[in-house]
Amino acid sequence: MELFTNQILAGISTGAIYACMALAVVMIYQAIDHLNFAQGEMAMFSTFISWQLMQWGIPYWGAFVLTLVLSFAGGIAIERLLFKPLAKAPILTNVAGFIALFAIINSCAGLIWDFTIKQYPTPFGSHPFLGSQLISTHQAGMIGVTILLLIGLYFFFQFTRMGLAMRAAASLPESARLVGINTSWMIALGWGMAAAIGSIAGMLIAPVVFLEPNMMGGVLIYGFAAAVLGGLTSPFGAVIGGFLVGIFENLAGTYIPGVGNELKLPIALALIVTVLVVKPAGLFGRPIVKRV
Amino acid sequence: MTAMLNVRDLRAYYGQVQALHGLEFGLNEGSMTTLLGANGAGKTTTLRAICNMVRSTGAIEFEGASLAGRSTENIVRLGIAHVPQGRGTFTTMTVEENLQLGAITRRDKAGVVSDIERMYDHFPVLKERHTQQAGTLSGGEQQMLAVARALMLRPRLMLLDEPSFGLAPLIVRDLFKILGKINREDKVTILVVEQNAQLALELADTAYVIETGRIVMSGNAAEIANNEDVRKSYLGY
Amino acid sequence: MSAIQEVVTEAPVVEAVPKRAMTLGYGTSLAMLALLILVPLFVKNFIIFQLTMLLIYGLAVLALNILTGGSGQFSLGQSAFYAVGAYTTAILMEHGGMNYALTLPISGIICFGFGFLFGQPALRLSGVYLALATFALATAMPQLLKLGYFEYYTGGVQGLVVTKPDAPFGLPMSQDMWLYYFTLAVTIAIYIFSVNLLRSRSGRAFMAIRDNEIAASAMGIDVALYKTLAFGVSAGITGVAGGLGAIAVQFVAPDAYTITLAISLFLGMVVGGVGWLPGSIVGSAFIIFVPNIAEGISKGLSGAVFGVLLFLVIFLVPHGARQVAIVAQQLLGKLRKN
């Protein structure tokens, strides 16, 4: 029993990573109705930028904030330059665009900073949290920041004018235009916010998985899975989904025989897909009624 | 009286199919006009063309300014409110959020708050339900909400697409009474597209009849309502 | 107060390709065929090998076109079926001593079954959810192939070496050339089969499902049957392609069939034009040659160059090669009128 609880706790702490990534995923899904495959790479690139700023002598929090701003701007720039022209193209073509973006960012990061693993600092320290062997202060910090982000996003969407406009644009674009909202810019903003949230995710994750261009590959998939599990319309669901995915992954690795590290990912995905077969809109998503 | 809206040689297309064939009409400031016609005649297309929601050619002028090349949201910001077919309610948001959205382009916070109160005066049922999700409202209530949302823009011109659709006759009468009040008291020019010709002609002062993408009849609403030939040929009653 | 449901009138994820535009006209088809038959007579063996791979990946993209462009189901898992086909052929040839040609129908049938079975749970998923499920399948496959249980048959991490066959009846051609013509014959047969499939009642059922699943079901189409059938057929063709690939490349190994292959096939489908069968070979050419071109331009930034080239293609022709063909057709039509 103790092993079980330990694995749950361990799952929650790794799950914080996925929860944070899942928030960024849901953010962009709300804006553009798709999953952006390149989001992990964008987060990775942002993290490298923050690392570079620190190499140049800027202290951690200064680099953090600067990176946030740069990522926000970068997200908007990418959308305006690369995806606005594709707005009328078929969805699958847009997906090909995400894949192309992935290749570009990954390759550039590799060239600029090469593929050797780098240490990345954490502002929370890495001692055991409250004496527990399973959760470090950094992981507790991750969970804390993720929850703060979630609350911040909630306030933004529920209580600000911009948040209301974004929700409207995502929900019914034509009606949104009829009240004067520039839906095209709402999409750009969505990208910017998703990039900023992704950068936070990256900067929190890097101390754990170490900084290198391929660090986000697995994380992004788990982030997608978490977002889908939680229900793509629910940021709260995304966070819960993240923790659940972390737990699934750990339990699968511990209790299913023959499952080494390599099979953890497909098994976790299989579990999530099973949940979806039962609850197609995810755990907290709004049930979708399809009409002809 | 000056023409507030001037439409000349309007041709509209859905892909390769042409829906409007050189439509021409004008709206005088302060008027209540109705656009009538059978299903598929092009009534909805006309409204959509004014707001640039469908590909079209021709000249559309609003208060002297050309609307050509402007995006839908920019046309709306000029003061044209459009209540679309099916109402376009934001079903997952509350009644009050829908009203706030109507005013989202306005800067005067105090004005918005007082306007919301005025909407609740016009439509008391909305006040009752103001924290409810808009999707739970009945058809008639959602129509009132759609009109209220449009009014939150403080529009100079309001376009309504088949507001009576799917509503019980008594509710339609109430709605039209309110539209008349808005037209007279708030000085909002109104263009109503309707299939229910009888009620629309009672409400409006001017009427246009459209058939297969062209205006075939225009004039004083009362005269058209009294002209049995016109009614039988074009309006079916 | 009832929970608010989101009412969705879904626009189809995959846009419809009008039926008459699904294939090339007779003239163009014959010209293509002549090219495919004659070119290998004039080039070196290595180029012939590349042409063979062009046909093989073309088959795999074709299979994906049937699944996505035909029945509207999104799959990032084709690499799994390709792998199963490849390994089936390899195991039958190396452990079972079977003739290479005979292994292909077996690979096809086994993959058909595999795809059909996978299609069952996939019935309840669509769009992004199906993408995740097929992604899981694709990532699992290399790991499953490395598992200790199967190592005797699969050769574990190192895989198996496959013997390339000689031309039969002592024909005076190299192994590469024989394999190319053999692959060409198989490809033509499958292409004709696919075109007829999409034109048949089943094909219409696929497309009805793609365009509006609920309406299709209301019309009496057995949606479950046709969706799983589409998965099966697609998997079967991919399996045959995998088998041919194993013979052409002369080995099979788990890390040759990763998610990268599945993503490449997806890109091939988009570049060729979703649902446009002739485009499959254009897509295949893209995924075989453009990465090499990218590496030639810049070794360090080959991924970035590839991405940029891909963006260029999708900016210029968002609907893929089909768009180019339509424009060409219109130009020819205008020329004929003058």
Is residue C6 packed enough to be buried (19+ CB in 10 Å), middle (13-18) or exposed (0-12)? middle
pLDDT at residue number A102: 94
B86 lies within 8 A of chain C by CB: no
pLDDT at residue number B46: 93
pLDDT at residue number B81: 95
Q: What tens digit of pLDDT does each residue of A254-289 get?
A: 777 666 666 777 777 777 778 877 877 778 877 665
Is residue C271 within 8 Å of C286, Cβ to Cβ?
yes
pLDDT above 80: residue B130: yes
pLDDT at residue number C13: 60
pLDDT at residue number C212: 82
Q: Is C87 inside a domain boundary? A: yes
pLDDT at residue number C171: 79
Contact B136 C6 (CB under 8 A): no
Q: Spell out a b/e string for A7-23, using b for 16 or more CB atoms within 10 Å of the CB, else e.
A: bbbbbbbbbbbbbbbbb
Q: Is C218 inside a domain boundary? A: yes
| Percent of chain C whose predicted confidence (pLDDT) is above 90 | 36
Q: Is B229 inside a domain boundary? A: yes
Q: What tens digit of pLDDT does each residue of B156-174 get?
A: 999 999 998 888 888 888 8
C157 lies within 8 A of chain A by CB: no
Residue B5's SS3 state is strand
Domain with residue B161: its CATH number is: 3.40.50.300
Smallest CA–CA distance from A115 into chain C, residue: C300
Strand pairing partners for B83? Answer: B160
Phi/psi for C156 (5° steps) reads 60, -140
Contact A110 C133 (CB under 8 A): no
Q: Is A277 inside a domain boundary? A: no
Q: Is B175 inside a domain boundary? A: yes
Q: What tens digit of pLDDT does each residue of C56-65 get?
A: 999 999 999 9
Q: What tens digit of pLDDT does each residue of A217-226 get?
A: 888 888 888 8
Q: Which chain A residues contact residue B72 at CB under 8 A?
A: 177-178
Q: Is B201 inside a domain boundary? A: yes
Angle at B111 between CA B109 and CA B117, to 5 degrees: 110
Is residue A21 within 8 Å of A220, Cβ to Cβ?
yes
Strand pairing partners for B17? Answer: B14
* CA–CA distance, B72 with B88 (Å, rounded to integer): 15
Number of domains forming the structure of chain B? 1
Q: Is C62 inside a domain boundary? A: yes
Q: Spell out a b/e string for C256-270, using b for 16 or more CB atoms within 10 Å of the CB, else e.
A: bbbbebbbbbbbbbb
Q: Which domain holds residue C143?
A: 19-163+172-257
Q: Is C317 inside a domain boundary? A: no
Contact A179 B102 (CB under 8 A): yes
* CA–CA distance, A26 with A21 (Å, rounded to integer): 9
Contact B91 C7 (CB under 8 A): yes
pLDDT at residue number C3: 42
- Average pLDDT of the segment spanning C82-88: 94
Confidence of residue C70 (pLDDT cuts 50, 70, 90): confident
A262 or C285: which leads in pLDDT:
C285
* CA–CA distance, A118 with C26 (Å, rounded to integer): 59
pLDDT above 80: residue C107: yes
The beta strands (E) that lie in chain C are given as: 6-9, 160-161, 251-252
pLDDT at residue number A255: 74
Q: Which chain B residues contact residue A183 at CB under 8 A?
A: 73
Contact B92 A179 (CB under 8 A): no
Of B204-208, C133-137, C236-240, C310-314, least confident by mean pLDDT is C133-137
The residues, ordered by sequence, that sit 6+ positions from A111 with a Cβ below 8 Å of its Cβ are C300, C301, C304
3-class secondary structure for A194-220?
A: HHHHHHHHHHHHHHHHCECCCCCHHHH
* CA–CA distance, C151 with B223 (Å, rounded to integer): 91
- Average pLDDT of the segment spanning A31-39: 80
From the CA of C266, how many Å to the nearest CA of chain A?
8
B54 lies within 8 A of chain A by CB: no
pLDDT above 60: residue C112: yes
Strand pairing partners for C277? Answer: none
Is residue C254 within 8 Å of C140, Cβ to Cβ?
no
Q: What tens digit of pLDDT does each residue of A173-185 get?
A: 899 999 999 999 9
pLDDT above 80: residue A131: no
Q: Which chain A residues contact residue B113 at CB under 8 A?
A: none
Interface test with B, best of C2, C4, C5 (most B CBs within 10 A): C4
ipTM for the complex?
0.90
Q: What tens digit of pLDDT does each residue of A49-87 get?
A: 999 999 999 999 999 999 999 999 999 999 999 999 998
Tell me the angle at which helices C26-38 and C175-199 cross, rounded to the nearest 10 degrees: 160
C96 or A77: which leads in pLDDT:
A77
C112 lies within 8 A of chain A by CB: no
Q: Is C286 inside a domain boundary? A: no
pLDDT at residue number C4: 47
Q: Is A254 inside a domain boundary? A: no
pLDDT above 60: residue A26: yes
Number of domains forming the structure of chain A? 1
Smallest CA–CA distance from B106 into chain A, residue: A180
Q: Is B108 inside a domain boundary? A: no
Q: Is B23 inside a domain boundary? A: yes
3-class secondary structure for B81-94?
A: EEECCCCCCCCCCE
C139 lies within 8 A of chain A by CB: yes
Residues of C (204-223) whose Cβ lies below 8 Å from A: 212, 214-215, 218
* Structure-token pair, residue A239: 């966070």
pLDDT above 50: residue C2: no
DSSP category for residue B193: E
Q: Which domain holds residue A96?
A: 19-216
* CA–CA distance, C308 with C313 (Å, rounded to integer): 9
Q: Is C14 inside a domain boundary? A: no
Q: Which domain holds residue B41?
A: 3-89+155-235
pLDDT above 70: residue C283: yes
Is residue A243 within 8 Å of A19, Cβ to Cβ?
yes
Q: What tens digit of pLDDT does each residue of C174-225 get?
A: 888 889 999 999 999 999 999 888 888 888 888 888 888 888 888 888 888 8
Q: Is A282 inside a domain boundary? A: no
Q: Which helix (H) or strand (E) holds C176?
A: helix C175-199
pLDDT at residue number C21: 57
Residues of C (225-244) whose Cβ lies below 8 Å from A: none
Confidence of residue C268 (pLDDT cuts 50, 70, 90): very high
Q: Which chain A residues contact residue C266 at CB under 8 A?
A: 95-96, 99
Phi/psi for C298 (5° steps) reads -155, 110
pLDDT above 90: residue A233: no
* Structure-token pair, residue A67: 């990176």
Contact B101 A179 (CB under 8 A): yes
pLDDT at residue number A291: 53
Smallest CA–CA distance from B129 into chain C, residue: C1
DSSP category for residue B215: E
pLDDT at residue number A65: 95
Q: What tens digit of pLDDT does each residue of C126-143 get?
A: 777 788 888 888 888 888
Residue B61's SS3 state is strand
Q: Which chain C residues contact residue B136 at CB under 8 A?
A: 1-2, 4
B166 lies within 8 A of chain C by CB: no
Q: Is C8 inside a domain boundary? A: no
B132 lies within 8 A of chain C by CB: yes
Confidence of residue C1 (pLDDT cuts 50, 70, 90): very low
From the CA of C215, how many Å to the nearest CA of chain A?
6
Number of domains forming the structure of chain C? 1
* CA–CA distance, C205 with C190 (Å, rounded to integer): 20
Is residue A183 within 8 Å of A177, Cβ to Cβ?
yes
Q: Is the dihedral of CA A51, A22, A209, A100 positive or negative?
A: negative
Interface test with C, best of A29, A33, A82, A273 (most C CBs within 10 A): A273
- Average pLDDT of the segment spanning A161-176: 90
Question: In the predicted model, what is the mean pLDDT of chain A?
Answer: 86
